[in-house]
Amino acid sequence: MGWAANHIAQLCKGGTVSFRPRDVTMTGKIAAGQLCTITPVDPAAVEIGDIVLCRVKGTEFLHLVKDIHEDRFQISDSRGQVNGWTTGDEIFGRCTKIED
């Protein structure tokens, strides 16, 4: 079970979650400690540039969608480090609000 398991469970039930990421992999988009609100999202509505809560190869990320090819989404941090490709069923929510 990863760091976001409880958040993912709530999103899968249609709920909205808020939390404060502590890492710096999204610096420039999300600063460590900022409050992020994540809402459920239909993968068909996900666009390049969206920040999503997802799972890539078993690891959970709150990272950027860098590319979309058919039903696959390339996920990376704000510095361009690519985490890999995932499918729509591994995207659980989209970041809709970032605040201090």
How high is the pLDDT of residue 23? 86
In order along the chain (100 residues), what is the average pLDDT of each group of 10 residues?
A: 92 97 91 96 97 97 97 96 97 97
How high is the pLDDT of residue 6? 96
How high is the pLDDT of residue 77? 96
How high is the pLDDT of residue 24? 86
* CATH top class, domain 5-99: mainly beta
Continuous H helices in the chain: 5-12
Rounded to whole angstroms, how far apart are CA atoms 78 and 49?
10
CA-based nearest residue to 38, from 23, 59, 21, 56: 21
Own/partner pairs, 43-47, CB within 8 angstroms, 24+ separation: 43/71, 43/73, 43/87, 43/88, 43/89, 43/91, 44/88, 45/94, 46/73, 46/88, 46/91, 46/94
